[in-house]
Amino acid sequence: MTNGNPRRPWEERLHEAGTRVEEDVREFLRYFNDEIVPDLRKNGSEALRAAARELNRMAQRMDERAGRTPPVDPKDIPKP
């Protein structure tokens, strides 16, 4: 440290861990921007539909575990 006080071992480990996390986040963002974003731009609507299907399945499982009846989708109600 610049004030002449040596760091305690846990402070040094915490500093090193923080540095590694920063590097990992930078690498993840670089990967996300270079690999994921271009694909999403090309296939965005398909990706959203796939995510919506998966979210629907997750909601159904949550309802089943809680013993609830899932809400009725308005488009499934017959029109008079």
24 inside domain: yes
DSSP string, 21-76: HHHHHHHHHHHIIIIIHHHHHHHHHHHHHHHHHHHHHHHHHHHHHHTPPPPPPGGG
Range of the domain at 41: 9-69
pLDDT in tens, 31-43: 989 988 888 888 8
Residue 69 has what pLDDT? 82
80 inside domain: no
Give the long-range contacts of residues 3-11, CB within 8 A, separation 24 or more: none
Following CA atoms 40, 44, 49, 55 in sequence, which dihedral angle do they give, to the nearest 10 degrees?
40
62 inside domain: yes
Residue 27 has what pLDDT? 93
79 inside domain: no
With beta carbons less than 8 A apart as the criterion, state whether 70 and 63 touch. Answer: yes
Q: Give pLDDT tens digits along the chain (80 positions).
A: 455 567 788 999 999 999 999 999 999 999 989 988 888 888 888 877 888 899 899 999 998 988 888 777 777 777 77
Count structural domains, the chain. Answer: 1
